[in-house]
Amino acid sequence: MDFEYNIRGLLHLFFKQKNKFLLTFLIILTFGLVAVMNMEPYYETKSSLLLKFGENARLEVNLQGAQGYKPSPHGENAEILSSNVSILESADLIKKVVSKMEAVQLYPALGDQGYDDRTLLLKAVRQAQKKLTVVPGIKNNLIEISFRHSSPESSSAFINNLIKAYKERHTEIYNPPQITFLEEQTKKTKDQLSESQSTFNVFKKEMGVSEIDKEIEQLLKQKNELSAIAYQSVAKAQEILAEMETREATMKATYKPDSPLVKRLQEGIAVARYQLRQRKDDMAQTSLGNNSLAKQTSSIDKRITWLEEQRGQYNELKQKVDLDEENFKYYRQRTEEARVNYLLNAQDITQISVIDAPGVPLQPTGPNKKIIAIAILMLGLFAATAVTIAFELMNDCFSFPNQIRARLGVPVLATFSKAEKVL
């Protein structure tokens, strides 16, 4: 039956259905409080790991010609952190820890259920996974680990064994088979480098050059010097002739034209003019390639042309040598790093630092019985209210005139209340 959605209607509802309300509330509260009282306290052990990246992740390996280790980008660091969290949460790693601690010792209740060893181990691993929490840092390289157990000693021991197993798994990254592979790659790249260097040296020997760019530069410089020498000789001859002609003009103003000094000067001028003409002719012949200077210039041009024709093969061989050298340096660096890291890991000196060492908790972490009791109380009130409303909706009796008008559509002429018994 419908009821009035107001204070009077709700109060009437609760008083009318008070027995059902109290019964439902007391049942839920009783069972809830009994369950809370029987809850077994648990202890939580926490630990923090710092995973190092970049230059802090390994020892500096100084090799001649090897480039330094560059830090990884932030996005790559986040991926590495996520990968390490997956390793810590992996069933294989947890199984290794549970096997070491013995499933029956870790969860005695499972031993009383008659499981075989394999099933017992799998169930213990599943329980341990549910109680293990691994959270990577958002803005740092920390990994937060926590584990809950009813025994504080077992909780601490599980975290300690998990960190140890995690370090061992990390060590496997630099195991001897990988070092062997890197050594093989280093030897292979070294042989490739020796072969490419030998081929390049033979080619340079046949060319008669050590560095093609430097030789072309020297040839061009030599050609410019030859041209400069020719122009300088003409300029010098012109300068001498001009000086002698100036002296002649000065002497004619002082001496007679048939003076011996004037005649000797004029003879000298004739010789200077002849030499200037000869040098100009030499320059003209140089442009035509008909003298020794021209032959030298032509020889230089032919050499430069030939070197330019060989430049493609020269650059190809040089690039091959540079590439093989980079590969060799890379694998040599990786081999040395792997060898050093393996030795460090073998001595328990890893790139994983325990910031917050797991200890034995002194007080239980949970459950918080007060909060759970309040939640049960709220649940009981909600469930009792729901049951009360449900029973009222299924009741066909009318309690208020408004219900009659709403249901039957007729006016109410009179109402009466329940008569009390008179003694």
Residue 312: CB atoms within 10 Å: 9
Q: What is the mean pLDDT of residues 103-128?
A: 88
Question: How far, rounded to the nearest angstrom, does the alpha carbon of residue 382 sit from its chain's CA centroid?
Answer: 51
86: left (phi over 0), alpha (psi -120 to 50) or beta: alpha
Average pLDDT, rounded, for the chain: 77
Question: How far, rounded to the nearest angstrom, does the alpha carbon of residue 272 sit from its chain's CA centroid?
Answer: 80
Examine the pLDDT at 341 and tell me if it is beyond 80: no
**pLDDT value at position 61?**
45
Examine the pLDDT at 133 and tell me if it is beyond 90: yes
Examine the pLDDT at 309 and tell me if it is beyond 50: yes
Query: 190-328 architecture in CATH?
Result: Orthogonal Bundle (1.10)
Rg (alpha carbons) of the chain, rounded to whole number: 51
Segment among 123-137, 151-165, 402-416 with least mean pLDDT? 402-416
Q: What is the mean pLDDT of residues 194-204?
A: 89
| CA distances to 14, 48, 408, 412 from 402, in Å | 19, 67, 10, 8
Sign of CA dihedral 112, 118, 122, 124: positive
Q: What is the mean pLDDT of residues 216-237?
A: 71
**Which neighbouring-strand residues pair with 136?**
143
Q: What is the mean pLDDT of residues 395-408?
A: 64
Examine the pLDDT at 279 and tell me if it is beyond 50: yes
**pLDDT value at position 117?**
87
**pLDDT value at position 71?**
47
Tell me, letter by letter, the H, E, C secondary structure of the chain.
Answer: CCCCCCHHHHHHHHHHCHHHHHHHHHHHHHHHHHHHHCCCCEEEEEEEEEECCHHHHCCCCCCCCCCCCCCCCHHHHHHHHHHHHHHHHCHHHHHHHHHHHCHHHHCHHHHCCCCCHHHHHHHHHHHHHHHEEEEECCCCCEEEEEEEECCHHHHHHHHHHHHHHHHHHHHHHHCHHHHHHHHHHHHHHHHHHHHHHHHHHHHHHHHCCCCHHHHHHHHHHHHHHHHHHHHHHHHHHHHHHHHHHHHHHHHHHHCCCCCHHHHHHHHHHHHHHHHHHHHHHHHHHHHHCCCHHHHHHHHHHHHHHHHHHHHHHHHHHHHHHHHHHHHHHHHHHHHHHHHHHHHHHHCCCCCEEEEECCCCCCCCCECCHHHHHHHHHHHHHHHHHHHHHHHHHHCCCCCCHHHHHHHHCCCCCCCCCCCCCCC
Examine the pLDDT at 202 and tell me if it is beyond 60: yes
Q: What's the N-to-C CA distance of the chain in angstroms? A: 35
**pLDDT value at position 401?**
64
Q: Which residue has the higher pLDDT, 90 or 239?
A: 90
For 207-223, b/e burial (b = at least 16 CB within 10 A) is: eebeebeebbeebeeeb
Examine the pLDDT at 306 and tell me if it is beyond 90: no
Q: pLDDT tens digits, residue range 68-82?
A: 444 445 456 777 788
Q: Which residue has the higher pLDDT, 33 or 77?
A: 33
3: phi then psi, degrees, rounded to nearest 5: -135, 165
Task: Give residue limits of the domains in the chain.
Answer: 7-39+367-408, 190-328
| CA distances to 97, 103, 146, 150 from 129, in Å | 11, 13, 11, 15
Residues of the chain with pLDDT > 70, as a percent, come to 73
**pLDDT value at position 46?**
92
Q: Which residue has the higher pLDDT, 37 or 192?
A: 192
Confidence band, pLDDT 50/70/90 cuts, at residue 158: very high
**pLDDT value at position 96?**
92
Segment among 12-21, 174-183, 239-248, 399-408 with least mean pLDDT? 399-408
Q: What is the mean pLDDT of residues 211-237?
A: 73
For 137-156, b/e burial (b = at least 16 CB within 10 A) is: beeebbbbbbbbbeebebbb
**pLDDT value at position 400?**
59
**pLDDT value at position 418?**
63
Q: Which residue has the higher pLDDT, 403 or 146?
A: 146
Segment among 53-67, 129-143, 350-364 with least mean pLDDT? 53-67
**pLDDT value at position 68?**
47
**pLDDT value at position 343?**
66
Q: Which amino acid belongs to residue 42?
A: Y
Q: What is the mean pLDDT of residues 268-275?
A: 76
- C-alpha to C-alpha distance for 283 and 294, rounded to whole angstroms: 9
Q: Which amino acid belongs to residue 67?
A: Q
Q: What is the mean pLDDT of residues 234-251?
A: 75
**pLDDT value at position 125?**
93
- C-alpha to C-alpha distance for 392 and 3, rounded to whole angstroms: 8
Confidence band, pLDDT 50/70/90 cuts, at residue 397: low
Q: Which amino acid belongs to residue 176?
A: P
**pLDDT value at position 189?**
92
Q: pLDDT tens digits, residue range 342-386?
A: 665 555 445 677 888 888 888 887 788 888 889 999 998 899 888
- Would you state the structure tokens that stand for residue 118, as one six-digit string? 């394999």
**pLDDT value at position 311?**
81
- Would you state the structure tokens that stand for residue 116, as one six-digit string? 């075989």
Examine the pLDDT at 9 and tell me if it is beyond 90: no
Q: What is the mean pLDDT of residues 243-249?
A: 77
**pLDDT value at position 288?**
44
Scanning the structure block, which residue is given the tokens 């093609």? 212
Scanning the structure block, which residue is given the tokens 């969290």? 85
- C-alpha to C-alpha distance for 173 and 346, rounded to whole angstroms: 12
* Listed residue (219, 222, 213, 223) closest to 311, CA to CA: 213
Confidence band, pLDDT 50/70/90 cuts, at residue 234: low
